[in-house]
Every structure is written in C-alpha cells, then in structure tokens.
Chains A and B, each alone.
Chain A
Amino acid sequence: MLDLKAHADVAVSSAFNLTGPLRHDTVVQLADAWYPEIRFHEAERFHPVDFEAMFTVPPAVMATLDEPTRDTLRIQVGNSRFEPPIVRTGSDTVPASALATAVLDDPTTGAEVQERISSGSVYTHGGGFDRSTQLFGASSTVQGLVNPSPGDPRVPRHPIVVRAEMRFLYESLKHELQADRPDDALWGRFAVEHSFFRTVGGSNVPFTTSAKRAILQRLIAAFDAGDEAAQAAALADIPPSWQFVSRAWDALRNYVFLEYYFLYAFNDYLQFADSVFANEHEGDNEGCCVVFDRRDLEDLAAGTKTLTEIVAHTVITSVHEEFNDNDDLKRLPLDRDRARDDLVVYVAAGSHATYLTADSHDVLDFEDILTDFPGEVPGWAWLIPGAAPVIVLLLLITAIAEHFADSEDETSDNGASTGPEPETGTDPGPLAFPSRRVVTPLSAITDPGRDVNAYQAALASAPANVSLADLTRRAFPGKWGAHDGLRDHSSKWENKTARYFRKFVHSGDIRTNVIL
C-alpha cells in the first residue's frame, strides 16, 4: 500500500531537497525561462497532458456523451462496468469517483485510497487506441479538416501541460543512496552507481552493485565533510583492476538537470509506423532535459548572478528506451539568446520519441550489437514437440525479416508547437498553442512556509500551497496503463535522471575538477 505520510516522514528526517540552494520559486522562474519550444508532428493526436488530466479528463468527457457512447467507453472488470478511469490492484478496483481530486485531497478519504494503491496497481482509462482517442485524442485540424497535413496540424484536444522537475545531481545521488528510500514515483530513482566505476582490461574481479553504492556513500560523506583522507580511503577500497570514473564524478558535482516531462495519454505509433516492430500503449512518459552548470545556479541562489545571466549548458532528449542508446544530446551555444533560440525539441508522431531535429529518424537500437548469437537456434525451437520442421520456419522468417524496411520516427517543423510565451506584441501564428508548466516542488521539505516540497502535503501540518491529490498522482507507484491483450509496454512513471546522466557522461561537454 501507498503510505505517503510515512514517506513524508522519511523525507523530513532525511532533509529531502533536490534543488540544492535554490528555492522553489526560483526553480519555477528557471523552468519558465528555459522552457524548450516543443514541435509536434502535424499528425499528432495525443499532446502532453499531466497527471491531473489523466484523472479529470475522462469523467469530464464522459459527462458530454450520450448514454450509448458512454457505455462503449465503460471498462469491464469481471461482471462490473466502470466509468473511466480506474485503478486496479489485483481484484480490487478503485472507481473514478474515488479518484476525484476532492477525494484524494481529503486526508481521511485520500489515505483510504492510498491504502488501495501499490506498485502492483494499474491505472487505465480503457486500454486501447479507440477509447483513448475518444477521451484524449485530437479530432480536427487548425483548418477544421479531419485529415492533417503539413501546415494544418491536428489541434490539441486538451490544454497542453508539461511537468518540470529540477534535480541537483549530487543531492539526487545522496537521496538515492540512503537506506530508507521510500518506494514511490516521486522519490524516484537515480541508480547510476555503475557509471562511476570501470574495469581495466576486462577484469574478472567481482564488484557488486551494493559495494559500489557503499563506496559512493562514503565518498559523498567524506566530500561533504571536506575530509580528503576519507575520500582517498573510500576510493582505495575499489577492487584491483577497477578504476573510478572521474568524468562521472565531475558531472555529478558540477551539473544540475531541469527535466521536462511530456506525459501522453496514449502512444499510437502503430498508426504511423510502416513496420511490424511497432509499439502501442496507454500512458507514455517522454521528454527532455536542460542541463545547467551548478556553479551558475549557486551564484543565482546567492544573488551574485541574475536570472538573465544564466545560460543553459546542454539539452538531452529521450528516444525510445534507454537501452537503445539513441538519446540525443546537444551542447548549447554560449551566447544566451542563441542558446535560447537553439532550445527546440521535436516530438515524433505517435511514439513521442523526442529528437533535436525535424527529420526522418531510423529507430535505432544499439543493444543487440553488443552480443553475438552465433549459429544458435531460437530457444523456443527446441521446445516444439514432435518432428516439426522448425527449420523451414526459421529459413522463411530469416529470408523475410532481413528485407524489412526499418522503423522510422518522423518529426516535423509543420505541426502544432508550444513553448515559452511569445513576447508582447508578437504573433506566434496559428500553429502555436499555449501550454502550462507544472513544476514539481522538490525544494527543502524542512522549511515549510519558506520553501515548497511536494511531500509536505502528507504531513500533519500540511501547508496550503501543496496538494495531497497532486502528491498522490505524482507519487503513484503503479503502471500508467493497461493493455488490450496484444501489446503492453505501459510502464511505471520513472524520472529519467539516470538515463540523462549516463548520456551526459558519455557525450557531454563536462567541466573537469581536480582528478581524484
């Protein structure tokens, strides 16, 4: 069960704070100032909404429909039919009425709902393309047509909402490594311990994950204490033929991520892809990350730099799964105006993979090339009973598969877009749509009234500027989608900090500290 009060207590006892010296209101200013321009493909049906809309839109749309249509959208669970959305956990189904904001916001009823939620829960508003389209999908173009075309994109069905979250990397790793880390989506994960150690010459000496985390914990404690001897002692415990990756340590200490999350109600890549290797699922979490130099943000917090003197360092986007190793990264120009102009991301139709250029993009996957499969027969072929001519099948499929066209993502300059508010007196044009940023408060929890942290909503003395409903939705530890029985790639909501970090360490322009 989800117990946000207990999680908040842990947050207080461990002084949970992911924004370093920056107060939440400054984070909001930065999130506004460096909000990327987001360009969607003209055929995009599902534009970003936020957690709140995933719960509030279905009831609102259902209220506008006639009864026969409403009935087609109800979700069958056993012998019962539910209005969307629902949250299922095993045989228990939390109905839409119990997921209303007022219910979640009330400490008593909210706690009752939390008791029915766990990491095994699944949110769904129907589990299929047609249902998602009826509830969330765009249906007509700017010119009022059914079919979109370049320059005449589909109009976003609901207000576009983008979530922003700032994470100082050093603080994020400290909270990742603490032993009593709560298991919810808000606390998140930053499991990057493997980035800090590498073998020299293919070592066979074992070096476990827990041992790596223990060394990092000691290193951080020693660094906080300014104890160089203790730092050296921690590093001395690295096993023979393994070495510390100073570049990762430099990235950790010197940089801050401002992550922008685009949450889509549905991934309908299947509608666009001319390939069998397509995906389709509810609840799609994508986005990008703007990197800042930590030194700049410390100066901003100290008042020695102003907001207009801050220049973002790098932008990173997420492209499909991290194991595909295909995320995009770009060092931004040093000049502030040029950096701002260069901060444009492109969302691929349907898949919502986020790129840095308008183009056709091969859907690449660097994972398989790292392993050989020499002369092997697929495992299942051994299990087919009888003397079935499996080899015939293998030969046939081989002949077919090698000639498949590759999957491609398409991004475009001719679709709907959103981004920073246009300057006064300028016309952004008919393809630009407004959007709202929701910045998750992740600043010092121990300073209520002065600073804001989402976990404060679960405390007995919750301040008025945070909401228990927002916290419940953001911390929801289950999957953000069910499936229609064929494809199920819906996943739990996870912050992408770790994958952005690994990409930054691999390809970023990283300021170097003294080598340890």
Chain B
Amino acid sequence: MTTLTTENKETQKQVIEKVYSPNVNVFENKENVTIIVEMPGVDQSSINLNVEKDTLTIDGQFQYDASTFGKSVSQEFVGGKFERKFTLGKLVDAENARAKIKNGILELTLPKVEPKKTKIEIQS
C-alpha cells in the first residue's frame, strides 16, 4: 500500500538566527588588557567566554520576543546572538581573566604576564 500523503510532519524550522558582531573597545595598561563589549539585552547566564588555543570567543544570547506586544509599527532590531572572536597574544593570562556585566556592557579584564625568559646554554 502506498500512502499518497508523504507529508513530513517534522518540517524543519529553518529559523536563521541573527548573529550580531558587537562593538568593542580594547584598552591596555601596564597590568591588564581590558575588552569592553556592547551586549544589550543579554542576560549574564547566557554569556559564554571561551578560550581555545589563542582564540577568545565571546558570545551571548539576546532574548527579545517582539511578538508579545500588539502589532509592530517599526522594527530596527530583533533578538539573536552576539558573537565576536579575538586573537590573544601570548602575553595575556586568560585563566585569570575577570568578567563583569552591567547594563548590557561586558567588561573583560585579562591580566598581562611577563614573558618568560629562558636562557639556553650552548654546550660546547
């Protein structure tokens, strides 16, 4: 018996999530490198800070459900995800990084490390 209806009930919802590349400020002083990231609407719990090899990835979910309030008159932004990658130099100690978020601004402080000097003796 052949079924005529080959209706696939699990139609894959192809919701392409908006990925925003947030604006950043990067400062450096004697002790630290500070990265400031604009992440409005992002809850602290959804922020991920990952360091893999020498790449630091910052991402966070911007939950914004627009459909709950009446009809849209004009829309300039939607919810989505913020993501940005940085290449870290060897002089930064990512393991001791500190992060805080306030009013949609993430501040990441990475302490600098003194480069180790290894002297190699030449054997005669």
A binds B: no
Which B residues contact A (CB, under 8 angstroms)? none
